[in-house]
Amino acid sequence: MTALLRQRAFEMASRSPRRSPSSIRGGGLACFWNVRDVDASPLLAEYDELAPMVGAERCGLRRPGPRAETRTEILASGLFDEPVFEQVRHEVPMTGEEFIGLAFTTSHVRMAPPALQAQFRRELERVLAQHGVLATAQVTVPYVSTAGSRDATRTRRPPRMA
């Protein structure tokens, strides 16, 4: 997590009206999403097109922030009040080789057969080269991070475990 995101998450939690010992004992919920902002970068949009090659969903289909069903499930549990979500845009500079390394940390790429990994790498190198990003050249990767939090509700407690 970047320093900016940590600071924003801390600020968000500090503004919570329920910062009391009872709310700490009652627990809470914190969710974080860190999504590449494919809409902000032609390079990322083209990289995103490679995802189905390794059986992954395109990142662009997973827009920044929680899906509607996330909020619905949080509320349906009865354990938490209405969640609060805040977004932070940030950029991470890296070299072309670091970008390739990052791409190979995803589970879909790591689990792909070696021949498919090699093909994916060649295609990714082609995309990077088309955008002028060689192994040691710098590229800035934009992200949208969403932090969500909520204290435990005071009206309903989870069932006790036997």
User: Could you report the per-residue pLDDT of 33-87, keeping only the tens digit for each?
Assistant: 788 888 889 999 999 889 888 877 665 445 556 677 888 888 888 888 888 888 8
Structural domain includes residue 161? no
Structural domain includes residue 113? yes
Domain total for the chain?
Answer: 1
Handedness of CA 87, 91, 2, 7 (dihedral sign): negative
Report pLDDT for 116: 93
- pLDDT tens for residues 95-129? 999 999 999 998 888 889 999 999 999 999 999 99
Structural domain includes residue 158? no
Q: Which amino acid is at 11?
A: E
Report pLDDT for 26: 61
Structural domain includes residue 92? yes
Report pLDDT for 91: 94
CA angle 60, 2, 102 (to 5 degrees): 50
Per the model's pLDDT, the better-predicted residue between 113 and 26 turns out to be 113
Please state the rounded mean pLDDT for residues 3-8: 50
C-alpha span between 153 and 146 (Å, rounded): 22
Structural domain includes residue 129? yes
Please state the rounded mean pLDDT for residues 6-22: 47
Reported confidence tier of residue 151, pLDDT bands at 50, 70, 90: confident
* Domain hosting residue 34, numbered range: 3-151
Per the model's pLDDT, the better-predicted residue between 35 and 92 turns out to be 92
Phi, psi of 87 (to 5 degrees): -115, 145
pTM higher than 0.75 for the full model?
no
C-alpha span between 59 and 49 (Å, rounded): 9
Structural domain includes residue 157? no
The answer, yes or no, to whether residue 1 has pLDDT greater than 60, is no
Phi, psi of 137 (to 5 degrees): -75, 150
